[in-house]
C-alpha cells in the first residue's frame, strides 16, 4: 500500500486534502475497525455495521474513507484527464453526467470531466466539513436529511469510478493501479449493497452493471 500511495501522490495534481478522524473519537475507533476488517481479506465483512454502533456514524466514517480513496485514485490519472481528452463527463456514450448544485449551477450543466469532478469533490468536501450535516462532536445527533445526503454523495462518487473505468482503464493498468482500483470499487459496491444506498434505483449502476454484478456474486 505504501508504494501505491507514493505513486499516486507523486502524480497527483490539485488533489483535495484527505479527511482524517481525530484519534480517540468514535469516528477514529470505527475507522480502525474498518481498516482491521479490510485487512482480514473479507470485504463483505468490512462493510457490515459493527455490533452496537450507530448506523449514521458508520455511514459518515465510510463516506470520508471513499472520498479519500477516490480522491487518490483520480489524482493518479489527472494528467490524462483534461478538457481536451475528456470534453464531457461521461462513462459510456449512453451515460453523460451534468453538474447541478444549489448555488452556482441550479440547472443541469454540461462540462468537461475534470471540471465536473472538481465540483463534485468540492461539494462532497463541503458536506463533510458542515458540522450540521456531519457532526464531529461525540453524541451530537445527525440531521434528518443525513441519509438523503449520504445517498446522493455515494451516487455522485460512483460517477468518478465509472469515468475512470470507461475512459482511463488502460492508463490505470499501465500505472500498475488496477488491483487498487478494483479493490476500492468492490469495497464501494459491497458497501452500497449492504446498506441499501442505491435507493432501489434499477439504473443506479448503469454503465458498470455487469462488473458490479460479478463483484456481488464473487464475494
Q: What is the pLDDT of residues 79-130, one digit of tens each?
A: 999 999 999 999 999 999 999 998 899 999 999 999 999 999 999 999 999 9
Residue 143: per-residue pLDDT: 95
The CA-atom distances, in angstroms, between 126 and each of 37, 90, 206 are 29, 24, 27
Q: Does 14 reside within a domain? A: no
- Cβ-in-10-Å burial (0-12, 13-18, 19+) of 147 comes to middle
Q: How far apart are CA 59 and CA 100, in angstroms?
A: 24
Question: Would you say the pTM of this structure is higher than 0.85?
Answer: no
| Alpha helices in 107-145, H assignment, sequence order | 113-129
Is 18 inside a domain boundary? no
Consult the annotation and say whether 163 binds a ligand.
Answer: yes
* Interacting residues of 64 by C-beta distance below 8 A, sequence separation 6+: 19, 21, 27, 128
Mean pLDDT of the chain: 83
At 54, which CATH number?
1.20.140.30
> Which domain does 210 fall in, by range?
2-8+27-218
Q: Give the chain's domain count.
A: 1
- Asked if residue 166 belongs to a known ligand binding site, the reply is no
Is 17 contained in some domain? no
Residue 149, domain member (yes or no)? yes
Q: Is 187 annotated as a binding residue?
A: no
Q: Give, for all 219 residues of the chain, the pLDDT tens digit.
A: 333 333 333 333 344 444 544 444 444 444 454 454 444 457 888 899 999 989 999 999 999 999 999 998 999 999 999 999 999 999 999 999 999 998 899 999 999 999 999 999 999 999 999 999 999 887 789 999 999 999 999 999 999 999 999 999 999 999 888 988 998 999 999 999 999 998 766 678 889 989 998 888 886
Sorted by sequence, the CB contacts under 8 Å of residue 1 that are 6+ apart come out as none
What residues form DSSP beta bridges with 109?
A: 99
Asked whether residue 167 is domain-assigned, the answer is yes
Answer whether residue 22 is part of any domain: no
User: Binding residue per annotation — 195?
Assistant: no
pLDDT at 10: 37
Residue at 16 is within a domain: no
In a domain, 21, yes or no: no
How far is 116 from 213, CA to CA, in rounded Å? 27
Amino acid at each position: 500500500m505504501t508504494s501505491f500511495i507514493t505513486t499516486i501522490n507523486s502524480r497527483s495534481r490539485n488533489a483535495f486534502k484527505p479527511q482524517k478522524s481525530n484519534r480517540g473519537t468514535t469516528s477514529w475507533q470505527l475507522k480502525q475497525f474498518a481498516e482491521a476488517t479490510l485487512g482480514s481479506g473479507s470485504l463483505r465483512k468490512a462493510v457490515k455495521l459493527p455490533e452496537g454502533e450507530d448506523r449514521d456514524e458508520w455511514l459518515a466514517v465510510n463516506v470520508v474513507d471513499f472520498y479519500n480513496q477516490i480522491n487518490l485514485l483520480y489524482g493518479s490519472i489527472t494528467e490524462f484527464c483534461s478538457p481536451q481528452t475528456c470534453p464531457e463527463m461521461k462513462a459510456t456514450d449512453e451515460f453523460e453526467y451534468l453538474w447541478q448544485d444549489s448555488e452556482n449551477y441550479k440547472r443541469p450543466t454540461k462540462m468537461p470531466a475534470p471540471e465536473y469532478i472538481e465540483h463534485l469533490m468540492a461539494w462532497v468536501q463541503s458536506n463533510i466539513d458542515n458540522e450540521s450535516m456531519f457532526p464531529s462532536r461525540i453524541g451530537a445527533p445527525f440531521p434528518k436529511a443525513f441519509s438523503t445526503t449520504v445517498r446522493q454523495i455515494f451516487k455522485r462518487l460512483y460517477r468518478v469510478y465509472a469515468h475512470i473505468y470507461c475512459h482511463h482503464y488502460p492508463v490505470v493498468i499501465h500505472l500498475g493501479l488496477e488491483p487498487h482500483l478494483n479493490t476500492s470499487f468492490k469495497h464501494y459496491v459491497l458497501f452500497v449493497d449492504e446498506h441499501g444506498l442505491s435507493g432501489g434505483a434499477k439504473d443506479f449502476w448503469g454503465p458498470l452493471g455487469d462488473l458490479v454484478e460479478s463483484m456481488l456474486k464473487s464475494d
